[in-house]
Structure 1
Amino acid sequence: MLPLAKVRLYESGVGYFERAGELRGDGAALPVPSAHLDDAIKSLVVLSRDGSVEDISFNSRLSPAVARARAGLPPDADEDLSYGALLETLKGASVELRVDGARVRGRLVEVAEIAPGEVGYVSEASSSGKRARGDDDDASDAAVKPSPQLFVTLYTQDGEFTRVPATAIDTLRPIDASQRRRFEAALEAQETTGYQTSTTMTLDASTQGPVRLGYLAEAPIWRTSFRLVFDDAGASTLQGWALVHNDTDEAWDEIALELVNGRPDSFLFPLAAPRYDRRGLETPERELSSIPQLLVTTPDAQWGDFADTWGGLSGTGSGYGSGSGAGFGGRGKRVPQVRQAKAAASSRTTGSDLLTLGDLATLAGATAKEGETVFVYSARRPLSLKPHRSAMVPFLSESIEATPIVRFASMSHQARHGIRLVNDTAKTLPPGPVSIFGGGGFMGESTIERLKPGERLFMEIGDDPDTELESEVNSFKVEHAKAVVYKSYSDELEEHYLRTREFTLTFTNRSGRAREVHLALDISRNARVEGADGLDYDSAADQPLAIFRLAANDNKPRTLVITEALKTVTSRAAIRESSLRELAAAENVPAERRAVLSKAAELMRGVKTAEDARDDVGKKLETAQQDIERYREHLKAMGDGERGGKSPIVTRLLAAEDRLGKLREELELAEDGVTQANAKVGEELAKLTSDGQRIEIKP
């Protein structure tokens, strides 16, 4: 057997198992758990010096249904299998019975249940010849009533038929070895714990010399945990440990262990069990029987000699039928209700894509490095691991850039201890929990997501009761209409503007040591921040960070000024005349654009007039509908007495229906008027297109 030389584990739940050794011209063996056989067939790779491999053989693995069928067992493994049903599967087979210590050989003819009094019934006591006598035997004999028993009919090697109660059989063994193998195959196929059974793949090769042979198989996912350790000088070291599991029945003896932090695609594919396709059945035009005509009858019996006839009934028949049906529920006619559809009106505020103050998100890429994302970590020394045991294997120990910080999630949140971690190593760090140690003890815990070289991570590890923050808004200023743009493809009007806020921040540092405070800002990335000691960007939270470096017992106030480039996007349905006039009056808007906005405002007055006219017609139409409903209810209440054509109610109903028809025509014209008025506004606003040039805002 080729020894295991290397195991490479992946994050996608598979492992590559490689064996290496010397071939001496007599082939090699590869033990594979039955559950891994499909994977091994799919991915087996053989590498030898001259590449001359003749074949790779293994015992065929049958599907449970096929294996049970070949053994004569029911195809459904969940179906209850009684002792009698098991004996039925051996009908016609040569068996050996052991009854009362004696061995009897023969062919099993029949398994049947016989009631007391029927021919061939043998009591259990008489068949065994043994009875345990007691003082109350007479009473028990009278109380016990014989019950039907299962009997086995055997045709012995001496040419005799014998009947044996099934309860008297101590053991039963099929004589035919192939029969026994079929039962064993059925049991192996039924076994659900594939890891507990093994299949040997045999490599037949005339090659002599070194060979490497490997395959892919399911394997436990390797997982990581980290330790971040700060020394007394503040330097930090990241230790990485991998948790690996040997869930096989084979010991890993001095193997090379490799860990891959990638997820290559892999899938299950059934290959090991033989599969069969289905063929169509073609039959001769003339029907031919597989049973001889005179097997159980004679010509005389067929002709009609009923005294000697073996009776049988047969019949054929066919029938055809079809039916279909459909039903429709009736409903009373009602006058259609008018539903006036209106476009959804909305307005939202987001970062401006025309005004440029600066992209704070670029701070996150200031130290990014280009390099590979998927890496292979190799264990420092060969690994020995017994079957079904786990091990923690160190795979990383490097200095890393890490800074203890105090983090505020907002100006109103409590302070939290944290760590700013920058992956300045050359490899991607896989995800996992991290425990932080420093100052002679434990500092806290967090998690590391997959971190590429150059990327940074901000972790919170515990509460900080020694640092507090009070904030106050000093001023709030909005510079409206730095740019006004209309997007025809989305029917939206954009107002780009600047918003400036000034805050007074008062930090309280009672820790007795210097602190680096990171304040998360709920602002857009297109912004300018002044007054902080530094800036950073949390890519995971998509938030800019203002950094303040506090000396010990530092309580002096800080002034923070935030200017954001924003835009308000208003849908066409939400645009109002008043908002257009406000934009037209803004000093920042060029004169030609103010003229467009003023004209659009005048046209919006026409839209309002058209909408009022449409709504007025709609109210009249609704009143007409209500009148028609009321007249019909009156007619229904009067019955047949006043249903003539001269009834006043009928006259009013007909007049109301005529009026309803005219109102519908008026409503359609009014809707067209609203559409045309809106189109004129859209045509005018379309003149406010953008040339795509960004407007840089100087400090």
Structure 2
Amino acid sequence: MRHALALLCALSVTCAIAQQPAPITKSSLVANALATPATVKDLPVHQVVLYKNGIGYFEHSGAITGNQQVAIDFTSEQLNDVLQSLTALDSKDGKVSAVSYNSTMPIDQQLKTLALGLPDYPPTIAVYHALRGQRVEVTGAGTPLTGRLVNIEFRRETDKNGATSEDHHFLIVATDSGALRTAELTDSVSVRMIDPSLQKQFADYLGIIASTQNQQVRHLTLEDRGEGQRELRVSYISGVPVWKSTYRIVFPRDSTSNAILQGWAVVDNTIGSDWDNVQLSLVAGAPQSFIQPLSQPLYLRRPEIAISTTAMTTPQTHEAAEMNQMQVVPNMVKMGMDAAPPASVGVAGMQGIGSGSAGGVIGSLFSNAPPVTVSSGYGGNSGGGMRRIGSGVYDVTSALTQGDVNTNTFDDFFQYNLAQPVTIHKNESAMVPILQENLPAERVTLWSQSERTPFRAIWLENTSKLTFDRGSFSIFESGVFAGQGLLDPIHPGEKRLLSYAADQPIRVKQHPEEGKREIRSVSITTRGLVKKTYAAESRMTYDAINSAEDPRVVVIEVQRRPNRNLSPECKAAETAPSLYRFRLPVASHQTASLLFADEGPEYEYWQINEDIDQVVPLQRLSEEVPALQDKLKPLYSAQQSIIEMKARLHELEQKSTSLTSDETRARENLTALKGNDAAKRFVEELNQAEDNLQSTQKEIAALTEKEKAAVESLRQTLLTVDIAWNSPAATPAAQ
């Protein structure tokens, strides 16, 4: 009792002395830096920024005192992102000296450290093979057996009905007496390992298997060393579920031109930490991000190099040098290198940002980095007119600064900043409001060439300073649900059609009409390439039939065609990159018509060929453009002459064939009547046929040469032709 009382008094005195402030000296700073950090402290989540590409920016912050250990729990999958992006900032002169986490060696690497050689999911046969040669005790199969396990084998058994099975396993055991015994493995048989070291190995194996079930939780510990009370901020990114936007569009009963747009965001907390009163921002952007398995130990395959060996040689003898020859033996100098002491390496390290609206001092996380003064601290306003948020993205000054939510645009995406803190516990989801605006909205019927079913729609105009993110919406009219649809991003000042239900009383019919087509230009270039340009107009009438009891405004969407413009008589209510929209009011039980006309250039291409009959197209072209008649006439006249020569050659070739036949027949008759007086007549016919055939062949040869010369002449003309004509009414675009 006296010993316990004395010990308690000693502890009291020690505690009292420890509570007195000690003078700060150089030695005390060194001792403080080497002291063991205090109890591990949780660092709560302070800010969350969620992005549309499935990543989130998280910031933990809290007060620490002296040397402090801070712990944050993650999953193995999250830890990979954390190791890529972790940033730890101390508000004063403290420094983060170490960041550690429980490593997880891959299970196959851990199992290699055991002598059993069992894989992760071993079959029964593999377990018994691992026990071969070990002492075991087998009970439940008659007399207990004690000895070394020799093997396990399958045996084929045949029952009394002649059926054969191979699912019988038998253990072969060499007993201590030297006998080999066999025991069938059944549900009642047990095998016990006798060797304690083998039992430990098997227990270690099962322990490794069990430990892999707990590797999903990774404990990250940061050791922050310093003096006094400070603020520590830890930030990182992590993969998260994509946040979703959903909207409600409500038409009040007493309003026909405005609608209330209410926006919500569906947010899921899956990071393993509670979000208690966090500053939540939702970014409709997708910064580039990727995953590297940094948290997993990486094993590289090393090449296996064979050990080099020296071949043994047979001893040899060598003749001696002559005695009168001087032998010079150089002095052997031992060469070495003085090792220079390693130079000290300075680490710039990471720097912490001081808090406060007037600016702060960046304190180095490492002792050799000098402090740097910045113009603004966390959450402060800089002189440049921009406000910094924790995600490293800057907001423009023209954004809203009042209300529950404001949006900021930067680069090609925007974000919603919730003014009120949000609480979402881990493994829970929530809907948070992001906007509510009273906007102009016109109820219309939408008909499109790509979707022939008419739809009820609203023409919504974004007159607010907010950007509406992509999402789904629901329409409520007269206090009841009216339909649903999808919404693409709508920026301030934009007007967008949103369809939500079929409009069955409306039908739209199309009636094509004949348009105009006038030639605008003609060009004939080298090798006779003909290009004709027309100014063409297409016309279509759309009839909208309204069978409803109330009037409708039908919005007709017509596809835009490349290089075509609306005719002056058509006025579109709205022009999109790929279509026109026209407003067509239709009274109840009436039909209204809309004329659509567009115009633009049309082209025709063809090639003048000296060997093809193209006289008619050339003559038509000269009639279509009388100004080209003098230039085109030599071309089609030359081609007409070639065509006539080809026709004459065809006639001569047919005549030559006929004369050849007559000559053959006369020669055959003359042979049959040889020595007869009648043969004289066939001799005269044969001579005449030969004369005609020779004359025809000469004419064919001459005409063939003439036709070749005409073709070559026309070919040479086409190589140098250059004809261009433009209509006085043609515009540069039509040409």
Bin the TM-score by the shorter chain. Answer: 0.5 to 0.7
Written as runs of structure 1 = structure 2, the 5 A alignment for 1:196-345 is: 197-207=216-226, 208-231=229-252, 232-233=254-255, 234-277=257-300, 278-281=302-305, 283-285=307-309
Residues of 1 paired with 2:465 and 2:598: CA distance?
A: 37
Residue 459 of structure 1 corresponds to which residue in structure 2? 498
Farther off after superposition, 574-583 or 454-463 = 574-583
> How much has 1:59 moved relative to structure 2?
1.9
Listed one character per residue, the Cα deviations across residues 604-631 of structure 1 (whole Å, up to 9, x for unaligned) are 879999999xxxxxxxxxxxxxxxxxxx
> How much has 1:3 moved relative to structure 2?
1.0
Alignment partner of 1:568 out of 599, 603, 606 = 603
Residues of 1 paired with 2:131 and 2:486: CA distance?
A: 62
Residues of 1 paired with 2:185 and 2:234: CA distance?
A: 59
Q: Residue type of the partner of 1:269?
A: Q
User: Could you tell me whether the CA contact under 8 Å between 2:544 and 2:554 is conserved in 1?
Assistant: no
User: Could you tell me whether the CA contact under 8 Å between 2:469 and 2:489 is conserved in 1?
Assistant: yes
User: Could you tell me whether the CA contact under 8 Å between 1:58 and 1:201 is conserved in 2?
Assistant: yes
SS at the partner of 1:38?
A: helix
> How much has 1:40 moved relative to structure 2?
1.2
User: Could you tell me whether the CA contact under 8 Å between 1:457 and 1:538 is conserved in 2?
Assistant: no
Written as runs of structure 1 = structure 2, the 5 A alignment for 1:104-143 is: 112-113=150-151, 118-120=174-176
Residue 10 of structure 1 corresponds to which residue in structure 2? 51
SS at the partner of 2:469?
A: coil
Listed one character per residue, the Cα deviations across residues 148-189 of structure 1 (whole Å, up to 9, x for unaligned) are 679xxxxxxxxxxxxxx9624699898979x97776455445
SS at the partner of 1:511?
A: coil
Is 1:167 aligned with 2:191?
Answer: yes
Residues of 1 paired with 2:461 and 2:711: CA distance?
A: 59
> How much has 1:387 moved relative to structure 2?
2.7
User: How has the CA–CA distance of structure 1 residues 559 and 84 changed in structure 2, closer, same or farther, with 3 Å as cutoff?
Assistant: closer
Structure 1: stretches of 5+ with no match in the other structure:
101-108, 124-144, 151-164, 289-369, 613-669
User: Could you tell me whether the CA contact under 8 Å between 1:421 and 1:457 is conserved in 2?
Assistant: yes
Residue 383 of structure 2 corresponds to which residue in structure 1? none
User: Could you tell me whether the CA contact under 8 Å between 1:480 and 1:496 is conserved in 2?
Assistant: yes
> How much has 1:56 moved relative to structure 2?
0.7
Residue 481 of structure 1 corresponds to which residue in structure 2? 519
> How much has 1:537 moved relative to structure 2?
2.3
Alignment partner of 1:586 out of 624, 640, 644 = 624
Is 1:550 aligned with 2:574?
Answer: no
| Identity rate, percent | 20
Residues of 1 paired with 2:543 and 2:720: CA distance?
A: 53
Written as runs of structure 1 = structure 2, the 5 A alignment for 1:559-638 is: 560=595, 562-570=597-605, 578-579=616-617, 581-587=619-625, 591=627
User: Could you tell me whether the CA contact under 8 Å between 1:8 and 1:260 is conserved in 2?
Assistant: yes
Q: Residue type of the partner of 2:309?
A: E
> How much has 1:241 moved relative to structure 2?
1.6
Alignment partner of 2:475 out of 431, 436, 457 = 436
User: Could you tell me whether the CA contact under 8 Å between 1:223 and 1:432 is conserved in 2?
Assistant: yes
> How much has 1:253 moved relative to structure 2?
1.9
Relative to the length of structure 2, the TM-score reads: 0.56
**Max radius of gyration: which structure?**
2
Farther off after superposition, 218-227 or 426-435 = 426-435
> How much has 1:433 moved relative to structure 2?
1.7
Listed one character per residue, the Cα deviations across residues 197-237 of structure 1 (whole Å, up to 9, x for unaligned) are 21111111203511111222221111222222222312023
User: Could you tell me whether the CA contact under 8 Å between 2:281 and 2:416 is conserved in 1?
Assistant: yes
User: Could you tell me whether the CA contact under 8 Å between 1:484 and 1:495 is conserved in 2?
Assistant: yes
> How much has 1:390 moved relative to structure 2?
1.7
Residue 516 of structure 1 corresponds to which residue in structure 2? 553
User: How has the CA–CA distance of structure 1 residues 275 and 437 changed in structure 2, closer, same or farther, with 3 Å as cutoff?
Assistant: same
Farther off after superposition, 505-514 or 261-270 = 505-514
Listed one character per residue, the Cα deviations across residues 318-373 of structure 1 (whole Å, up to 9, x for unaligned) are xxxxxxxxxxxxxxxxxxxxxxxxxxxxxxxxxxxxxxxxxxxxxxxxxxxx9853
> How much has 1:375 moved relative to structure 2?
0.8
User: How has the CA–CA distance of structure 1 residues 38 and 435 changed in structure 2, closer, same or farther, with 3 Å as cutoff?
Assistant: same
Aligned length: 498
RMSD of aligned residue pairs (Cα, Å)? 5.0
User: How has the CA–CA distance of structure 1 residues 688 and 47 changed in structure 2, closer, same or farther, with 3 Å as cutoff?
Assistant: farther
Residues of 2 paired with 1:85 and 1:610: CA distance?
A: 102
Listed one character per residue, the Cα deviations across residues 234-268 of structure 1 (whole Å, up to 9, x for unaligned) are 20232222112122433322222221111111112
Residue 28 of structure 1 corresponds to which residue in structure 2? 70
SS at the partner of 1:271?
A: coil
Residues of 2 paired with 1:537 and 1:237: CA distance?
A: 26
User: How has the CA–CA distance of structure 1 residues 411 and 216 changed in structure 2, closer, same or farther, with 3 Å as cutoff?
Assistant: closer
Residue 732 of structure 2 corresponds to which residue in structure 1? 695
User: How has the CA–CA distance of structure 1 residues 436 and 48 changed in structure 2, closer, same or farther, with 3 Å as cutoff?
Assistant: same
User: Could you tell me whether the CA contact under 8 Å between 1:596 and 1:685 is conserved in 2?
Assistant: no
SS at the partner of 1:270?
A: coil
Residue 415 of structure 1 corresponds to which residue in structure 2? 454
Structure 2: stretches of 5+ with no match in the other structure:
1-41, 140-146, 153-170, 313-408, 648-706
The higher-RCO structure (CA 8 Å, 6+ apart) is 1
Residue 390 of structure 1 corresponds to which residue in structure 2? 429
> How much has 1:529 moved relative to structure 2?
4.5
Q: Residue type of the partner of 2:251?
A: F
SS at the partner of 1:477?
A: coil
User: Could you tell me whether the CA contact under 8 Å between 1:532 and 1:547 is conserved in 2?
Assistant: no
Is 1:528 aligned with 2:561?
Answer: no
Residues of 1 paired with 2:195 and 2:246: CA distance?
A: 57
Residues of 1 paired with 2:486 and 2:713: CA distance?
A: 59
Residue 85 of structure 2 corresponds to which residue in structure 1? 43
User: How has the CA–CA distance of structure 1 residues 502 and 84 changed in structure 2, closer, same or farther, with 3 Å as cutoff?
Assistant: closer
Q: Residue type of the partner of 1:395?
A: I
Residues of 2 paired with 1:686 and 1:74: CA distance?
A: 89
User: How has the CA–CA distance of structure 1 residues 76 and 511 changed in structure 2, closer, same or farther, with 3 Å as cutoff?
Assistant: same
Relative to the length of structure 1, the TM-score reads: 0.59
Q: Residue type of the partner of 2:548?
A: S
User: How has the CA–CA distance of structure 1 residues 534 and 279 changed in structure 2, closer, same or farther, with 3 Å as cutoff?
Assistant: closer
User: How has the CA–CA distance of structure 1 residues 687 and 393 changed in structure 2, closer, same or farther, with 3 Å as cutoff?
Assistant: same
User: Could you tell me whether the CA contact under 8 Å between 1:428 and 1:450 is conserved in 2?
Assistant: yes
> How much has 1:678 moved relative to structure 2?
7.9
Residue 662 of structure 1 corresponds to which residue in structure 2? none
Listed one character per residue, the Cα deviations across residues 380-414 of structure 1 (whole Å, up to 9, x for unaligned) are 43222233222122212223343211122249945
SS at the partner of 2:127?
A: helix
SS at the partner of 1:65?
A: helix
User: Could you tell me whether the CA contact under 8 Å between 1:411 and 1:471 is conserved in 2?
Assistant: no
User: How has the CA–CA distance of structure 1 residues 460 and 685 changed in structure 2, closer, same or farther, with 3 Å as cutoff?
Assistant: farther
User: Could you tell me whether the CA contact under 8 Å between 2:58 and 2:237 is conserved in 1?
Assistant: yes
Q: Residue type of the partner of 1:445?
A: Q
> How much has 1:532 moved relative to structure 2?
6.2
User: How has the CA–CA distance of structure 1 residues 31 and 689 changed in structure 2, closer, same or farther, with 3 Å as cutoff?
Assistant: farther
Is 1:147 aligned with 2:183?
Answer: yes
Residues of 2 paired with 1:260 and 1:249: CA distance?
A: 21
SS at the partner of 1:66?
A: helix
